[in-house]
Amino acid sequence: MHIPEAHSVLRKSDTGDLVVAADFGSAGRPSATFTELVAGLRAEHTVWETMPPPHGTEVGRDGKWHVDRWVRDIRAAELPVRAVIGFCSGSVYAGALVREISAWQRRPRLILIDPDRAERFMVTNHYEQFVRARLGVVMPAEEVDDAVRAGRAADETCADPLDLAAELGVLCRRYLPPAARQAGMSGPRSVELAEIFSSYLYWLAAGSTVDGRREWATATALNSNTDGFGLDAFPEAERADLVAEVVQFDVSHRELMRDPDVHRTVDGLLQEGD
């Protein structure tokens, strides 16, 4: 079996097809991950999850570069791609992957879990939320406000989302390690935290350059009950034609990929067409 360079292997099967999960997975995040979703699936398919490039190599890389990197891996696997599943802003990348994969095989099923956009304003918003959450518990309010103001200044001066991510990444590496060390985190781990979050900002900014939403028209969306997440994040006028089918769950955004009913629904979608 091909060993992927740009994906992590969540499940290996000798009998099934390939399922690709598009997300920025990171340990310790509050929202459930694809690792938890896959653990609850019965379908015997190989499952890969997209990985960001090594820290430092993502600078200036647009969404097409990321998609092309993943597609090279997928083609080398020489397995039929059964489905692509996107979570949150990873849904934009999932749509782009479906479009590329459809160039050499039958169109894979597209499943979106609480789908969201990837847009420039979200890069600054996530920076501010993260800074306030991480710095606010250990640093004076004035220093937290300084970090927020620095982010807003970068937002005003950087027209390109990739340039904005680069500037915010510099700020992450300036402000986050000292705060993390004050909270008791080791020096290397505090730097790693800043690097992971700056990589996420690059990933999100690059996603804003990807035209993946056109493919959503054929997708099944699994939607949580959390206000402002999934389809609820979109203007009401856009929702009707955004996806082909919506399955609503009385489950929070954070718990969606841990939920047994979601696991059963994904299993059913993966079995369709057998």
- Print pLDDT tens along the chain (274 aa): 688 999 999 999 988 899 999 999 875 678 999 999 999 999 999 999 999 999 889 988 999 999 999 999 999 999 999 999 999 999 999 999 999 999 999 999 999 999 999 999 999 999 999 889 888 888 888 989 999 999 999 999 999 999 999 999 999 999 888 888 887 877 788 888 889 999 999 999 999 999 888 999 999 999 999 999 999 999 988 888 899 999 999 999 999 999 999 999 999 999 986 6
Closest CA to 201 of 46, 26, 81, 37: 26
Whether 78 is covered by a domain: the verdict is yes
CATH of the domain at 259: 3.40.50.1820
Tokens of residue 149, six digits? 């103001």
- The domain containing residue 58 runs over which residues? 7-117+210-271
* pTM of the entire predicted model: 0.94
For the chain, how many structural domains are there in total? 2
Q: Supply the pLDDT for residue 221.
A: 98
Residue 273: Cβ-neighbour burial (10 angstroms; 0-12, 13-18, 19+): exposed
Same-domain check for residues 102 and 176: no
Q: Measuring CA to CA, which residue among 243, 218, 212 is closest to residue 230?
A: 243
**Are 105 and 124 found together in one domain?**
no
Domain assignment present for residue 2? The answer is no
